[in-house]
Amino acid sequence: MIPKLAAGAGDEAYGLVLRELDARLDEARKVRAIDEAEQWRPVRSRACPYCGCFFLRVLLDAAKRPAGRIECFGHGESGAPCRAAWARALCGPLHQPTLDSAVRARLDHLAR
């Protein structure tokens, strides 16, 4: 049945179908595979310096080694997520913690 339909389609329809399939394949290729998904490991016995909770996590690379990024997955007293984050430079110490833009906007709103 499909060969008969394809034989009846013109070059323009054939090209349109190929472009659509290529676009869908490109979208599918951009989605991370399960084995490429971010994996986080808890940081034991360390409290977040911003919210005080013990929900710090370190990002692991594909070989399950720390990748140099630490984030807080806890919540502040208001119930808003803390999401404080630190990134390690290639060969240097930890940078100053930076807040995610959504958290910064909430803090700015609460400060008013």
pLDDT in tens, 19-39: 998 998 888 887 766 666 778
Burial (CB < 10 A; 0-12, 13-18, 19+), residue 43, is middle
Name the DSSP letter for residue 33: P
* pLDDT value of residue 42: 93
Q: Considering the entire predicted model, what is its pTM? A: 0.47
CA distance readout (Å), 16 to 4, 11, 21, 26, 93: 18, 9, 9, 15, 53
Which residue carries 């290639």 as its tokens?
Answer: 90
pLDDT digits (tens, 9 = 90+) for 64-95: 888 888 999 998 888 888 888 887 643 334 44
